[in-house]
Amino acid sequence: MLQYRYELNRRRALHALAAFAAGSPLRAFQQDPFRDHSRIPALTEMRTALDFEAVAFVRLPRPVFDYTAYGSDSEFTLRRNRQAFDWVELTPHAQPVRTPDTAAQLLGTKLNYPILLSPTAGHLQLHPDGEPATYAGATAAAATPMIVSNVSSVPFEKIAGASRGPIWFQLYPRNDSESNHETLERVQGAGAQAVVVTVDQQASFFERILHSRHLNPGAPGGVRRRTSSRGAPRNPYRVPEDRLFYEWKLFDEWRKIVKVPLIVKGVLTPEDAKICLEHGIDAVYVSNHGARSLDYAPSSLEVLPDIVDAVGGRVPVIFDSGIRRGADILKALALGASAVGLGRIARWGLAAYGAEGVQRALEIMQAELKLAMMAAGCASLKAVNRSLVRTDFP
């Protein structure tokens, strides 16, 4: 009887063969080499804003992810935007703080935190709910104001109807006064509480797209080949001409029809900041477009103090480009910014988890800012000033 138990039969033979096959290294060739089968973490597992980037990378097609990620040309300024925060040290004050006050007022808008959502385009390629979901997530995160891009994938009116939080509008001027007037009247009628006009010139190539070898030229963010028979462009370098007509006198014209605060975005020099004041601008927005305009331009952070000095407190100064941590926000505020804008972080949150991802990403940044203020001994935003930092800009 005992001998019969160990005799090989058909069932045992097949079981042994299956075990051998399962353990064979040849099994690896049956795996799908083009997909990542790792587990997507739960939203509650997100601990930093950078955690959302990894999830967005997994969820998005490569051209769509690259559209959010890239900077101009060699991406020198993209790297410099982050490096600049390493050149600013925080010098905490020995003062115990338990619950810092992060509330502020900005151009008539009440802020629970000195944080805005910077204008970014095409949210539908990130998530099926698009900009309305971004707005809903921002509103849920302590009523964070959202600046809606002029090239949003959903009309401003529909976005404004998706929630009841603060909402601003960003304009790319057209070389057509009537078109600009119609847009400005329309968004103000739909509830825009401020108008942000972008003035930097996007005339650069994005080499990361070129390096894709045009594998998917029709995808969002991809390179589209022109098949038009209109002939060569009027300039030899194929520089887009739709933003090369700007003149400061345009703001004198818009000042007459814009009844809400008017802001200039893309200021990188004290001279331009002073011109903004001459034309009655309500706030100066220091930004290099997230390093998507002119490569080898300075980082926004390293020019911020000089621009703040040039403005001299006459109008608020808003800042964006490169922020990834709550301590980064504290550094920008200490250098004179009245509020900061977050661009890529909100896009990562939307792509990863929709509206709830935007909310969670913003709440993480808000919590990190509070923690940084507590550690620095700042009981309120009024206590945040240049005595809090040491800079070593090149």
pLDDT digits (tens, 9 = 90+) for 113-132: 999 999 999 999 999 999 99
User: What is the residue-averaged pLDDT of the chain?
Assistant: 88
Question: Is 343 in contact with 120 (CB distance < 8 Å)?
Answer: yes
Looking at the chain, the whole-number percentage of residues with pLDDT higher than 90 is: 74
- Span 126-171, pLDDT tens digits: 999 999 999 999 999 999 999 999 999 999 999 999 999 999 999 9
The pLDDT of residue 66 is above 60: yes
- For residues 201 and 177, which has the higher predicted lDDT (pLDDT)? 177
| Length, in residues, of the chain | 394
The pLDDT of residue 70 is above 80: yes
| Cα separation, 125 vs 350, whole angstroms | 10
Question: Is 108 in contact with 261 (CB distance < 8 Å)?
Answer: yes
Choose the weakest-confidence range: 27-41, 57-71, 99-113, 361-375.
27-41
| The predicted structure's pLDDT at residue 27 | 52
| The predicted structure's pLDDT at residue 36 | 55
Question: Is 256 in contact with 262 (CB distance < 8 Å)?
Answer: no
| The predicted structure's pLDDT at residue 17 | 77
Residue 310 is encoded by which pair of tokens?
């040039």
Least Cα distance to 165 among 212, 110, 207 occurs for 110
- Span 230-269, pLDDT tens digits: 455 566 555 566 666 788 999 999 999 999 999 999 999 9
Count the alpha carbons within 13 Å of 364 in the hemisphere toward its beta carbon: 23
The DSSP result for 226-256, as a single string, is: P--SS-S-SSTT----TTS---THHHHHHHT
- 211 in catalytic set: no
| The predicted structure's pLDDT at residue 8 | 64
| Cα separation, 97 vs 378, whole angstroms | 7
Rounded mean pLDDT of 99-107? Answer: 97
Residue 127 is encoded by which pair of tokens?
């998530």
- Span 216-238, pLDDT tens digits: 544 444 434 333 444 555 665 55
Count the alpha carbons within 13 Å of 34 in the hemisphere toward its beta carbon: 2
| The predicted structure's pLDDT at residue 120 | 97
Helix, coil or strand: residue 389 = strand
Domains in the chain and their CATH numbers? 52-201+243-389 (3.20.20.70)
Contacts of 178 (CB under 8 A, 6+ apart): none
pLDDT band at 64 (very low <50, low <70, confident <90, very high): very high
| The predicted structure's pLDDT at residue 370 | 98
| The predicted structure's pLDDT at residue 189 | 98
Residue 384 is encoded by which pair of tokens?
């945040």
- Exposed, middle or buried, 248 (CB in 10 Å: 0-12/13-18/19+)? middle
**Which of these is catalytic: 211, 214, 279, 289?**
289
- Exposed, middle or buried, 71 (CB in 10 Å: 0-12/13-18/19+)? buried
| β-pair partners for 216 | none
Q: Which amino acid, 200?
A: D
Least Cα distance to 290 among 301, 278, 306 occurs for 301
Helix, coil or strand: residue 217 = coil
- pTM for the full predicted model: 0.85
The pLDDT of residue 16 is above 80: no
Least Cα distance to 267 among 279, 257, 256 occurs for 279
| The predicted structure's pLDDT at residue 242 | 65
